[in-house]
Amino acid sequence: MVSAAKPRLLILITLAEAGGAQSSVSVLLPGLTSDFDVTLAAHGSGPLREAARAAGVPFLQLSHLRRNLHAWHDVLALFELVRLCRRLRPDIVHAHSSKAGALGRLAAALARVPIRIFTVHGWPFTAYGGLAGRLYLWVERLLRRYTTVVVCVTRSAREVGVATRVCRPDRIVVIQNAVDVSAFAPPTRPEGTPRIVSVGRFAFPKDFATFVDALAAIQTDYRAALVGDGPMLHEVAADVRRRGLAERVALLGARDDVRDLLASGDVFVLSSRSEGFPIAILEAMAAGLAVVATDVGGVSEAVVHGETGLLVPPSDPSALAAALDSLLRDAGLRRRLGARGRERARRHFDLPRYRRAYVELYRRELERHGLAAPTEKTTAARPLSVAAESGE
């Protein structure tokens, strides 16, 4: 017999701090509460906790979950998550980020949660080389049997997951990230010295060192704002001073007015060594900024080279400087790329499609496990490998 109560959904993510995975969860929450009894759990406090409160979703602070590997904390975190699953008895556990993804799926299986979904924001075994990369690959292959569905935020990540045998081809879908395009006002920037904006965590895989090298090589006048926090912030600040860029480059730290900062910019830069499907680029496109980014991960699925921005190889300051200089010198090109990027964001990466894709995925899995009555949406859905994709 099917219960009239809402299905119970537990969303897990490693940290509640600012970040791309956290942003994707925060914009998803308001689209779930009418259909599901949602609980969010993460370590620490930060913007994601506030997003949960705004959406009316209970937030549970985890004591032991950490980003870095730590044998003792990881064991304690596993037991903490098993206890949480047994107490809440969710129908679905949906885990985001690598650590919560690994421990959350295992804990949900031990607690006999019927549906275990993992969203990959970037395969860790592709970001790290050597022993660490092989270890991450082995862990993902081990967790395959405990995973109901894997969600990739890019088509390229899906291809990697299938090729490396960490996912079953019939149990992996693509749901690209999204932003609320309507929250970003159309650009109305006055003429003047071009402004460059970059937003990201000052830690690997972001590559602010290459970005500073590129800025030092540009002769055209500009001003740059680097937004974010992280363990490498002081190192980057010292490099800016050493290169005599302090009057042109401002390091603003973590900010809660990113939309206003984007609105004041002309060009957005994301320099990374690896990526999933960065929210920061989608926000820049929604704000109508021309984007210059390294061609890694799913970046090329967001930015169309020569149409909405420019793509350059990773760790190549000369190529990054040349791309930036071409935009700094040509205001008309900046505006054309920015306008096309905003339209692309509106057509392909806006919130309604994103939220609908997840709701339909949850419904299909509930029906497949006999936990929900068939609905028009679930029975009419396309095959799993296609239905959830939110790109072209």
pTM as predicted: 0.87
Residue-wise pLDDT for 279-319, tens only, equals: 999 999 999 999 999 999 899 999 999 999 999 999 999 99
> What secondary structure, in 3-state letters, does the chain show?
CCCCCCCEEEEEEEECCCCHHHHHHHHHHHHCCCCCEEEEEEECCCHHHHHHHHHCCCEEEECCCCCCCCHHHHHHHHHHHHHHHHHHCCCEEEEECHHHHHHHHHHHHHCCCCEEEEEECCCHHHHCCHHHHHHHHHHHHHHHHHCCEEEECCHHHHHHHHHCCCCCHHHEEECCCCECHHHCCCCCCCCCCCEEEEECCCCCCECHHHHHHHHHHCCCCCEEEEECCCCCHHHHHHHHHHCCCCCCEEEEECCCCHHHHHHCCCEEEECECCCCCCHHHHHHHHCCCEEEEECCCCHHHHCCECCCEEEECCCCHHHHHHHHHHHHCCHHHHHHHHHHHHHHHHHHCEHHHHHHHHHHHHHHHHHHCCCCCCCHHHHCCCCHHHHCCCCC
**What architecture is the 181-348 domain classified under in CATH?**
3-Layer(aba) Sandwich (3.40)
Q: What is the pLDDT of residue 4?
A: 61
Query: 8-178+350-387 with 181-348: one CATH topology?
Result: yes
- Nearest residue to 309 via CA among 332, 337, 271: 337
The percentage of residues in the chain with a pLDDT greater than 90, rounded to a whole number, is 81
Q: What is the pLDDT of residue 69?
A: 72
Q: What is the pLDDT of residue 125?
A: 85
Beta bridge partners of 59: 40
Beta bridge partners of 13: 96
Task: List the domain boundaries for the chain.
Answer: 8-178+350-387, 181-348
Model confidence band, residue 133 (pLDDT cutoffs 50, 70, 90):
confident
Q: Which amino acid is at 8?
A: R
Residue-wise pLDDT for 342-381, tens only, equals: 999 999 999 999 999 999 999 999 999 999 744 544 433 4
One of 3.40.50.720, 3.40.50.2300, 3.40.50.2000, 3.40.50.80 is the CATH number of 8-178+350-387, namely: 3.40.50.2000
Average pLDDT over all residues of the chain: 91
Q: What is the pLDDT of residue 191?
A: 80
391: pLDDT strictly greater than 70: no
